[in-house]
């Protein structure tokens, strides 16, 4: 496959032929930075793990050059960080039994530029080659500009891609959890199984963890907290949960405004709080 940047790459852990490796995709994760998929899309990874008829393909949009760094990585140049983060992402694809892993290598600026089309064009190529049933990406209320930018580019690509009709598109948690959404709106994924795999995948990204951010502990802790605090009047039904907002309507109706759509979740949250105050006098 040809992409906008010559430095873009495709890694297929089991060395299957490219066309077959991509066409077998059932679950697709589209993330901004290396380790985002392992944080937000673990439900898809878990669903496909060691399965013959379900395959997870990852898409990493940016090169991750701007990440904070400390410890042994403190003096790494941006170029060195790009190289190490690519290796880490490919290691995760191998350990997680992914069908394929794309590394598009775009700078964050291309994602945050609303007028730029290069990311959208790359995503259209991937969507038409994989035709996934389920897609995981960032939620539209995330507080990281690049994360929301990736989701907006993906929505544009889904509206342009020919013959691509995923059953569901989910916006998941990274730089803002979705506990605030009312229960009727949030999608709760049970990710209780394979805690060892969860820890292993997150632990691969040493450049981020030793580099100054304990994403491994934070992500596993959030999943445990989601499972416990999800229902106030019932016993825990799982030991780990990831929350998501359903973005599928934005694909089914290509005229729907993403901002108005996410504002609907916010409005219903406000209405729930207001109604509780009315009820309690």
Residue 2: its pLDDT value, please?
A: 93
Nearest to 14 by CA among 126, 90, 86, 105: 90
pLDDT digit string, tens, across residues 168-186: 999 999 999 999 999 999 9
Domain coordinates of the chain in residue numbers?
A: 9-280
Q: What is the per-residue pLDDT across 87-118, written as a single tens digit (0 to 9) for each?
A: 999 999 999 999 999 999 999 999 999 999 99
Q: How many CA atoms lie within 13 A of 240 on its CB side?
A: 18
- Cβ neighbours of 105 (radius 10 Å): 22
**27 CB-near residues (< 8 Å, 6+ apart):** 41, 44, 45, 47, 48, 54, 55, 56, 57, 132, 133, 134, 135, 136
Q: Are strands 168-172 and 134-138 parallel, antiparallel or unpaired?
A: parallel
Question: Which residues of the chain are under the pLDDT cut of 70?
Answer: 233
What CATH homologous superfamily does 9-280 map to? LmbE-like (3.40.50.10320)
CA distance 171 to 17: 30
The token pair that represents 176 in the structure block: 């803002």
Per-residue pLDDT at 75 = 86
C-beta atoms surrounding 67 within 10 Å: 22
């Amino acid at each position: 496959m040809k992409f906008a940047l010559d430095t873009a790459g495709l890694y297929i852990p089991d060395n299957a032929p490219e066309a077959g490796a991509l066409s077998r995709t059932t679950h697709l994760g589209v993330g901004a930075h290396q380790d985002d998929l392992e944080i937000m899309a673990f439900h898809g990874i878990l669903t496909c793990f060691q399965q013959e008829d379900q395959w997870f393909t990852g898409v990493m949009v940016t090169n991750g050059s701007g990440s904070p760094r400390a410890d042994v990585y403190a003096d790494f140049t941006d170029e060195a960080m790009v190289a190490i983060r690519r290796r880490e992402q490919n290691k995760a694809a191998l350990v997680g039994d992914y069908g394929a892993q794309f590394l598009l290598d775009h700078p964050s600026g291309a994602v945050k530029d609303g007028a730029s089309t290069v990311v959208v064009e790359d995503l259209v190529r991937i969507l038409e080659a994989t035709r996934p049933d389920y897609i995981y990406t960032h939620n539209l209320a995330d507080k990281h500009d690049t994360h929301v930018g990736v989701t907006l580019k993906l929505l544009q690509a889904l509206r342009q891609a020919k013959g691509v009709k995923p059953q569901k598109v989910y916006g998941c948690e990274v730089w803002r959890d979705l506990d605030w959404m009312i229960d009727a709106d949030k999608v709760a994924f049970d990710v209780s199984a394979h805690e060892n795999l969860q820890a292993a995948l997150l632990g691969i990204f040493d450049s981020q963890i030793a580099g100054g951010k304990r994403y491994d502990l934070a992500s596993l802790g959030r999943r445990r907290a989601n499972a416990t605090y999800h229902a106030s009047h019932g016993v825990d039904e799982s030991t780990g949960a990831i929350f998501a907002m359903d973005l599928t309507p934005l694909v089914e109706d290509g005229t729907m405004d993403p901002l108005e759509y996410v504002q609907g979740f916010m409005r219903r949250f406000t209405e729930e709080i207001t109604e509780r105050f009315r009820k309690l006098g």
